[in-house]
Amino acid sequence: MELYPAIDLRGGRCVRLLQGRFDAETVYSDDPVQTALRWQSEGARWLHVVDLDGARVGKPQHLHILDAMVDAVRIPIQFGGGIRAEHHLRKAFEAGAMRVVLGSVLITDPEFAERVFHEWGQRIVLGVDVREDKVAIRGWQEQTEVDALELIQRMAKLGARRVIVTDISRDGTLQGPNLPLLSRLVQEAGVPIIASGGVSSLDDLLALKETGVEGAIIGKALYTGSISLKEALEKVR
């Protein structure tokens, strides 16, 4: 199981939100590039970078920081947030992203989804944000009645190769991941799943590994010191 330290960008800083709420922000660093270097030095093999401002306004706001991170670190970066058009996608790749996470635009525009899955293959990751098993879009601000499993299976038929599943109710809470949901998706979705939201301890990571997820994104637990990245990597590999 791969571990992805999360770097969430807002206003040029490294922050964490509680359950995706922009009025519940904690700033952990004014220097995201140094944060990227820190996680690399502790053994990370990937970074997961989210442009929160981009997700909110519908176009990337921090590609310059992505570019600076790519120049600074030797490990690949998975980047998402606000990428809802093909020219946004190309700019993210030009800035150095190895993978780009797309959510809203894939869900609302199946033709676009099929086209980018075909063109970019493994470099496109489907991001599915879930609240009570239903999908939320546009930076978690719009709730749909679409079932998460149904959506993933539909996107897999269009060419999705990998999915990040975020449980919004647990994101930033340190309350543990939604193991029943993730277990069901691993068994039935037909594509690799990366879990996001709620990880608080090494026990959580070991429980996630048991579900069969391909990877786990860790945010707040790293920044508060609840989890040591180096120790966690030793345990799950």
Where in the sequence numbering do the catalytic residues fall? 8, 129
The greatest distance separating any two alpha carbons of the chain, rounded to the nearest whole angstrom, comes to 43
**What is the DSSP code (8-state) at residue 121?**
G
**Cα distance between residue 78 and residue 123, in whole Å:** 9
Q: Identify the sign of the CA torsion 38, 56, 90, 108.
A: positive
- Which residue type does 36 have? A
Placement of tokens 């800083």 in the chain: 13
**Cα distance between residue 138 and residue 119, in whole Å:** 24
Q: Identify the sign of the CA torsion 26, 197, 169, 112.
A: positive
